[in-house]
Chain A
Amino acid sequence: MADVQSPDKDTQEYVIDKQQWEWSQLWKKEDWWAIWLGFLLIVAGMMIFLPRPPEGMAEKLAKAESTLQAEDARAPFRTVEWHKANDAKSGLRATNEPYAKTIAQWLQMPGRWAGNPLESLYLSEEAAAERRAMAEPAYKNAQDATKEALARAEAAQSLAEAESFNNPQLNEQAEKQISEWRMLREKERGSLRSNATVQSYNKIPYLIGLFILIGLFFTIGILFMNIDTANFWKGFWFLFLIAVLAIIIGNQETMRKYGFGDVLWAIVLGMLISNTVGTPKFIKEALQTEYFIKTGLVLLGAEILFGKIISIGIPGVFVAWVVTPIVLVSTYIFGQKVLKMASKTLNITISSDMSVCGVSAAIATASACRAKKEELTIAVGMSMLFTAVMMVALPTFIVAVGMHPVLGGAWIGGTIDSTGAVVAAGAFLGETGMFVAATIKMIQNIMIGVIAFGVAVYWCARVDCAPGQQVDKMEIWYRFPKFVLGFIGASIVISIMYASMGSAGDVMMEHGFIRGLTRHAREWFFALAFASIGLSSNFRELSRHFKGGKPVILYICGQSLNLILTLTMAYIMFFLVFPGITANL
């Protein structure tokens, strides 16, 4: 990844960029092509999705909103009608429209499987029918149980209402019944429903089509960037194949549960090949790691919606946006001053992935400070391993000590790296714990935009220069990784649009072109990037960074600080300063 080396204290060698601005960079550099292509996809997504809202969207949203307000005023607890209106509102999505389903079908990744890897690509009608038949009785029982629980909840609520919601015992009873109904509903929606409604599929033709589409998409830039197009295509099929294999392994049931996803397997498969039989020469031109990763990052920028920061009020801002930078900076300083890590880029990449949000933070930070491929690999690998451990250990501890689910959820959301693992750990605490954990993590995800920008500026102005060297503004501009402008620009533009659309922003943007188009594309680009990293990395270089176990010590010390600060802040915010918010959750 890195062209520019960080100052290395051991060697005292400083590679100082003497760059100059040339207009031709706009069409010759992958930084700019990442921006053009990223925005091309975002604009295409907007043009497809925004003019085609679900039928009656405005009326349905207004109806749900007025019901929520009326129910808030009517009862001291969340009524059955409140939950139904909330479900109706969150179920309204542009991604449920037929055109969006067609797009999703073309962009979908190989699916999940348990024993037979071919099932991730192909499922016959007979096999699907067999799976449905096996799951249907349990699903039917779950549906019946949910219906009965709903009837009990409605009856209990009616009794409470008959007393004008002034009888605390009846209110408590109604709340308990409603909570039970929600719990059973959750159970019904999970794996039972997905197995009982499984349909046959054949993803192979779509994957072939997608290979051509992604190849053509990147060829647009390749044509201008002095890369041999024919050689790119010669190797691109192999790279795509490795990415597909990585996704298949990552979607194996056991791997999904531990959180060992496609990104990890893309690196592992790539490294296995490059360090055993060797990376075939014919794919060298296709290993455009930076091009893939930066285009993916511009698309990731579109998913950083700043309006979400206040989703859980001020307590969430404090837990996710105050603790996180403190931990990030402290861990970085600890790595430099105490551990004396030779590589600043490895130091900041690990600090960022540990304190912010794992893989995505590692990608964004490593690209912003031009870390080496091996450094990104180390950060991602360590994040996944520690996440798997924390995903089990943290909720087990929280339940064992009887911690409040809001506090436990906030703790999980602020400390476990990846979103999926946060949701999994939160689910162990129940619905409230899971919702709080997932929301805190989402707010923390948004922070990566600010951190990537900050790291890029800091590296240009302070790190990539000799001690005492003054860097003027133009020099910072020359050195600045330009794709970060696209990353931040996409975030700002989409955030403004999202905020101005109100509730329709969720329906048409987040659950429209973001989750329906750009997110899928971004996942593919990252899978290609990591396969490319694996294929061009070697074990020896990797092990060099592990000398003295410094990356592991850094991660453990940083995470320990993170655990202490997050728990303290969550307790202060949710129980001492804003107990009203906690009571409403």
Chain B
Amino acid sequence: MDIENKMKTSDAGIQLRPWLKLGMGLGLIWIMAYVVLPWGQTLPHIQPVMSAMEKADINAADYWYTQSEETARAQMFVRNAIRRKQ
């Protein structure tokens, strides 16, 4: 009886293990988002850059120029600026 119970418990443990791993993975993402990365932002060399980014409301995750509003303004400005009397 004991052996049977132990086997059932170990089966349940094996079945639970993947879900525990998934939970741990999600937990790591949570720790990264709420503990590690916010702490990193307070470091003296990182803080000024992050602060400038926050004020300018920039999304550093934009991976292509059409996702960024700033590229459009930059292009217009640069194009109009460099054609001035050279």
Contact = CB atoms under 8 A, between A and B. Distances in A.
B25 A276 contact: yes
Which of A395, A424, A436 has the largest count of B CB atoms less than 10 A from its CB? A424
A308 B62 contact: no
Given A392-B46, A435-B73, A423 B66 contact: no
B80 interface: yes
A249 B33 contact: yes
Contacts of B25: 272, 276
B76 A250 contact: no
A312 B78 contact: yes
Interface string B73-86: 11111111111111
Interface in B51-86: 52-68, 70-86
A45 interface: no
Contact of A439 (B18, B45, B74): B74
Nearest to A438: B74
A263 B63 contact: yes
B80 A68 contact: yes
Nearest to A442: B65
B29 A249 contact: yes
B39 to A, nearest CB: 10
Contacts of A495: none
Contact of B62 (A420, A437, A510, A581): A420
B49 interface: yes
Interface in A355-369: 357-360
Nearest to B20: A276
Interface residues of B, number: 52
Contact of B60 (A73, A300, A424): A424
A424 B71 CA distance: 11
A419 B78 contact: no
B22 interface: yes
A73 B85 CA distance: 8
Interface string B14-47: 0000110110011001000110011011000110
B75 A439 contact: yes
Interface stretch (A24-32, A184-192, A469-477): A184-192
Contact of A276 (B22, B61, B86): B22
Contacts of A254: 33-34, 37-38, 41
Interface stretch (A50-58, A511-519, A547-555): A511-519
Contacts of A393: 45
A300 B41 CA distance: 33
Contacts of B48: 396, 428
A273 B22 contact: yes
Contacts of A506: 72, 76
B66 A420 contact: no
B7 interface: no
B49 A424 contact: yes
Contact of B55 (A190, A273, A300, A523): A190
B49 A396 contact: yes
B71 A442 contact: yes
Contacts of B76: 86, 89-90, 506
Contacts of A312: 78-79, 82
B58 to A, nearest CB: 5
Contacts of B81: 78, 584-585
A81 B41 CA distance: 39
A260 interface: yes
A190 B61 contact: no
Contacts of B72: 90, 506, 510-511, 515
A427 B57 CA distance: 10
B61 A256 contact: yes
Given A396-B48, A438-B71, A445-B65, A190 B56 contact: yes
Contacts of B62: 261, 418-420, 423
Contacts of A278: 18
A421 B60 contact: yes
Given A254-B33, A584-B84, A445 B64 contact: yes
A575 interface: no
A434 interface: yes
A78 B29 CA distance: 48
Given A257-B54, A419-B67, A424-B58, 4 more contacts: A257-B41, A311-B79, A442-B75, A445-B64
5 contacts: A189-B57, A257-B60, A303-B64, A423-B71, A438-B70
Interface of B: 18-19, 21-22, 25-26, 29, 33-34, 37-38, 40-41, 45-46, 48-50, 52-68, 70-86
Interface of A: 68, 72-73, 78, 82, 86, 89-90, 112, 186-187, 189-191, 193-194, 249-250, 252, 254-263, 268, 272-273, 275-278, 300, 303, 308, 311-313, 357-360, 387-388, 391-393, 395-396, 418-421, 423-425, 427-428, 434-439, 441-442, 445, 506, 510-511, 514-515, 519, 523, 580-581, 584-585
Closest 7 pairs (CB-CB, A-B):
A261-B61, A420-B62, A259-B60, A438-B74, A435-B74, A90-B76, A190-B57
